[in-house]
Structure 1
Amino acid sequence: MKPLLLTPPSWTWATLGEIADVVGGVTKDAKKQSDPALPLVPYLRVANVQRGHLNVTSVAQIRVPQATAERLRLQHGDVLLNEGGDRDKLGRGWVWENQIPNCIHQNHVFRARILEGILHPKLLAWFANECAQSWFETNGTQTTNLASISLSKIKQLPVPVPPLAEQAQLVSALERHFSWLDIADGAIDSGARKLKLLIKKILIEAVPIPSPQHWRTATVNEVGAVDLGRQRHPNWHEGPNMRPYLRVANVFEDRIDISDLMEMDFPPEIFERFRLSEGDILLNEGQSPEYLGRPAMYRGIPEEVAFTNSLLRFRAGPEVDPEWALLVFRRHMHAGRFMQETRITTNIAHLSASRFKGVEFPIPPLEEQRQIVARVTNTLIELGRLSTQINQAQAQSAVLRRALLSDAFAGDLVPQDPSEESVKVLLERICADRKASDARSPRHAARTSRTTTDARVKPIELMPSGSYTGTQETLFKQEELQQ
């Protein structure tokens, strides 16, 4: 086992599997959900397990056998760590504090129950959230845009274990520092929410509905041309006429992100049909409901680019300034107007071209369009500066948190006392007890009757922090829960 960072000599390193009972959660069985005889219990999913906190405002329920509910029931002090999702979600988690009675966890969330108080749960969670992130990225696997880490692998996570007295000082010091940062973060987050609401209010009020009497109200189809992008096909991602194209992942509100462009084979006549011209407005055809119809204007970058059928294109007619059209569509998105025209399939909202064409489109005189756009643009530029400052403050807070944790696990946050007793003896006893318990289990007896190699287990060699020279063999292996 290789330590992940340099710690004081009095600290001990161990694997997560040595200091905690680590198990996976319940897998949802569709057949059992219709069985009223099974108890209905709350269970935590990846969305509930955030970095540094648990979000229990919306907790799902699941029907499971009583034995499963009892076996997986969370206890105060359990550390919950995400098994899968986006790569940056691996190992993300926090400590369970009995927020909900009789709660269990799903199979994409690991539960680590620390043995005999050898490590404070918050120290484990803080370490996994920040200091061990590079380890999770290295040891996770990636399939079909989802990352995951196995139960056997996460048990091998190297974890630093300070002396018990020092742990209490570390937790107290970190909580004191974090409490001040939490107050600052609360103020920053409140400012961000208020700014977001202010921008929404400005955009909605810029295009009043009902409109002033001297404005004309038409439909989207009457004031411009609407097209759906080209369908994608796996066979078209190689060919003699490769061209870049934009998709939902590239189109944000009033911004096109070209950092992740994909290419497709476009015969010349097909490319001309779907090639973007400067001033075209792209809107998300399919997305989560709050982002449906999210619009951005194509301003000529990148050159010679097309779009796919996850996007709608609006090309303004002569009586509409494209910038005014963009403002109208931003107004509709924030006012929830597009949601009135959607259909939802598998949690994805869709805005069809035919229904989009029928959405109302207010038209002031051209000169008034430009005046309103200029006024709103100037206001949003000023608010954008404020938004940048808020983002910088949030980033600085995150940097401070990481610095505090780095100092804590380097032994620089609280004074070191050479006389403090290492946890090495306690860890040795825990490992010996688990080895003895495993030897007494029927499952172990069955294994040893088939082969004698399992009995030849390497003893744990506990060494001071920083003295490991190789990979330590994990002693104990637990089966993943079979549901």
Structure 2
Amino acid sequence: MSEGGVPSELPKGWAWVRLGDLGTECREAVAPEGGTRYELWSVPSFATGRPEILDGAEIGSTKLRTAVDDVLVCKINPRINRVWLTKPGVSRRPKIASSEWLVLRFPESVKAVMAPYVRRYLSSPAFREWITGAVSGATGSHTRAKSKDILNQLVPVPPLEEQRRIVAALDEQLSRLDTASGTLQITGRRIDRYLQATLHRMTSDYAPVQLREVLTSGLTNGRSVPTREGGFPVLRLTALSKTYVDVSQHKDGDWEASDAEPFLVRQGDFLIARGNGSLSLVGRGSLVINAPIPVAYPDTVIRACPDTEKILPEYLRTIWSSLAVRRQIESRARTTAGIYKVNQKILGSIEFPLPDLSTQRVLCTQWSSIEQQAGHLTHTVSVSKRRSATLRHSLLAEAFAGRLVPQDPANEPADALLDRIRAEREAAGVSKFRRRSPRRAPAQRAHTSELAPPPPSTDTSALAAATQPTLDLEIPS
């Protein structure tokens, strides 16, 4: 029996401890009054997954300043699954945490070791499985976990020296995975650059035209349709991939077939995403090559009907993915409330090179072969990324099950360490979690699910006395 890979019976000398009992200070950040602008540190919601510094006004400011070796836990989904330490020397201005952060501060005598250990545990499968479940069961406009629930979670704590060995081993192994992941990211970007350079070389010598010049009729918006079970099907925006429309991705709309007739998709239609929260996805074009079932397109999509006497639909699909077209779309897109949008006027004015029909056929054949080869490479990169993530998951699970590094019976047991922390907490006058949060109207308060069941019993009499086996890992350089 285990919780997220952590065994119910911990190794000898380990102990289960509430997260909130490990720190001398646990508090929430407080949003300032008057719109003061602060520096925001460690917001792990970016594609890089690394700490970044932003203008606090963009996400949520705070008056709470953090210190080196503080552990920050973000309560908002999906950022809640990442935890970072603040670092010195990045900026001379004070580091602070967003108002959605929970700050955990450790006793001076142990923080240099315990802070890195706890931070890594909060990124482990055990904690992430719990926090994902807690947030997914939450209700309200914002899904977040309650501070008291986070602080009540039990953490497997080994002797201090073993914590040091675990962190060192994880740093060594995970740094290798980080290097490999970085190489995979670079490889993926190189594949994209190769495709763009090849497409540019194949088409750049031809005279440009505007999209509106090669259509049989004007661009047309779809229709907004509520969902109704049993109604006429309408495409979801996710049906528009980088290449072809997946008509199987649809919902039942609240309309009849007669209402949907003007919006039915047909083979050869070119559908363009009218809006998206990501700039790289707005204006994405996707070709309909097969429509086995009657389905309409929604208001989030604009339809273009290529004039096959001027342009092949497959060529339009190909050239629409070019870097030149993307730059035009992204430079002209408008943003409202965080949503990027394009309209018929913007799309109709997009320019791209257009050879004659016979040349288009040759180019499409060549491009199909190139795309297929690049697709094989991209698939290999994706598989490697999944394997890297699986290995990272396994490393963290083994570390906090006591199987990554050897135990040393001579090490001071965790119980003694916890006694020292308890004494320092009492000396500092810390009796319970200190909540500092701004006043909010009841409607603004987020709700989360009840505290997940704690890990199994931690009765030390049931712990195995034998030393746990060590996981021997060999990761290629």
The answer to whether the superposition gives a TM-score over 0.5 is yes
Residue 355 (structure 2) aligned to one of 361, 364, 388: 364
Q: What amino acid is aligned across from residue 313 of structure 1 in structure 2? A: R
Aligned twin of 2:31: 27
Task: Kindly state the Cα deviation for residue 297 of structure 1 after the two structures are TM-superposed.
Answer: 1.4
Match of 1:194 in 2: 190
Q: Which protein, 1 or 2, shows the higher relative CO under an 8 Å CA cutoff with sep ≥ 6?
A: 2
The question of whether the paired residues in 2 share the 8 Å contact of 1:424 and 1:462 is answered with no
2:21 is aligned with 1:18: yes
Alpha-carbon distance change, 203 to 335 in structure 1, aligned in 2, over 3 angstroms: farther
Deviates more, 1:268-277 or 1:141-150: 141-150
In the alignment, what sits opposite 2:469? none
**Cα distance, 1:183 vs structure 2:** 2.7
| SS across alignment from 2:232 | strand
- State the alpha-carbon separation in 1 of the partners of residues 110 and 71 from structure 2: 13
Which of the numbers 254, 270, 273 marks the counterpart of 2:262? Answer: 273
Match of 2:303 among 294, 298, 313: 313
Go from structure 1 to structure 2 and tell me whether the alpha carbon gap of 1:3 and 1:324 turns closer, same or farther (over 3 Å shift). Answer: closer
Q: Work out whether 1:92 is the aligned partner of 2:82.
A: yes
2:470 corresponds to: none
The 1:50–1:314 alpha-carbon spacing in structure 2 relative to 1, beyond 3 Å, is closer
Question: In structure 1, which of residues 93, 111, 129 is the aligned counterpart of residue 103 of structure 2?
Answer: 111
Instruction: Please give the secondary structure, in 1, of the residue aligned with 2:280.
Output: helix
Q: Does 1:415 align with 2:432?
A: no
Mark the runs of 5 or more structure 1 residues left unpaired by the alignment: 34-39, 444-460, 468-483
Distance 1:394 1:194, change over 3 A: same
TM superposition shift of 1:11: 0.8
Greater mean deviation of Cα atoms: 246-255 or 281-290 = 246-255
* Residue of structure 2 equivalent to 1:405: 396
Aligned pairs for 1:89-168 within 5 A: 89-98=79-88, 99-101=90-92, 102-115=94-107, 116-117=109-110, 120-131=114-125, 132-140=127-135, 141-143=137-139, 147-168=143-164
Change (3 A) 1:442 1:224: closer
Residue 344 of structure 1 is matched in structure 2 by: 335
1:44 aligns with 2:44: no
* One-letter amino acid of the counterpart of residue 221, structure 2: L
SS at match of 2:272: strand
Which whole-Å CA distance do the structure 2 matches of 1:399 and 1:442 have between them? 37
Closer, same or farther in 2 for the Cα pair 1:206/1:166, shift >3 Å?
same
Matches within 5 A, 1:290-301: 290-300=280-290
Q: Secondary structure at the match of 2:460?
A: coil
Query: What is the root-mean-square deviation of aligned Cα atoms in Å?
Result: 3.3
Cα 1:386/1:433, change in 2 over 3 Å: same
Shift of 1:433: 5.5
In structure 2, stretches of 5+ residues that fail to align are: 436-456, 464-477
The aligned counterpart of 2:279 is 289
Equivalent residues of 1:82, 1:93 under 8 A apart: yes
Distance of 1:184 and 1:125 partners within structure 2 = 22
Equivalent residue, structure 2, for 1:181: 177
Give the CA deviation at 1:334: 5.2
- In structure 2, relative to structure 1, the CA distance for the partners of 1:137 and 1:182 (3 Å cut) is closer
* Cα distance change on mapping 1:112 and 1:438 into 2, 3 Å: closer
Question: Can you list the C-alpha shifts for 1:113-161, whole angstroms capped at 9, x where unaligned?
Answer: 2335276222222222122211111222444785321211111222111
1:448: which partner in 2?
none
Q: SS at 1:80's partner residue?
A: strand
Q: Deviations over 1:298-346 (max 9, x none)?
A: 2335622221111111121231211011112212665412234332222
Structure 2 Cα separation of the partners of residues 422 and 167 of structure 1: 11
Alignment check: 8 A CA contact 2:160 2:417 kept: no
Shift of 1:100: 3.1
Q: Is the 8 A contact 2:325 2:351 kept in 1?
A: no
**Structure 1 residues 447-468: Cα deviation after superposition (integer angstroms, max 9, x where no partner):** xxxxxxxxxxxxxx9843977x
Comparing 246-255 with 272-281, greater Cα deviation is found at: 246-255
1:424-474 Cα shifts (integer Å, max 9, x gaps): 13324534664672569999xxxxxxxxxxxxxxxxx9843977xxxxxxx
CA distance in structure 1 between the aligned counterparts of 2:208 and 2:402, rounded to whole angstroms: 70
Per-residue Cα deviation, 1:263-306 (whole angstroms, up to 9, x for no partner): 21222222111111122121111123222211111233562222
CA contact (8 A) 1:49 1:82 kept: no
Q: Does residue 375 of structure 1 match 2:378?
A: no
1:396 corresponds to: 387
Alpha-carbon offset, residue 383 of structure 1: 1.1
Deviations 1:57-100 (A, max 9, x none): x421459xx9x74xx221111122221133xx323122222233
Secondary structure of 1:85's match?
coil
More helix by share: 1
- Give me the whole-angstrom Cα distance separating, in 1, the residues matched to 2:433 and 2:261: 71
Shift of 1:17: 0.8
- Percent identity between the aligned chains? 24
Structure 2 distance, partners of 1:442, 1:95, is 20
Of 9-18 and 192-201, more deviation after overlay is shown by: 192-201
Instruction: Output the CA distance in 2 between the equivalents of 1:113 and 1:32.
Output: 27
Whether contact under 8 Å (2:235, 2:249) holds in the other structure is no
Distance 1:256 1:160, change over 3 A: farther
Q: 1:75 aligns with which of 67, 78, 102?
A: 67
Aligned to 1:245, the other structure's residue is in SS state strand
* Local SS of the residue matching 2:321: helix
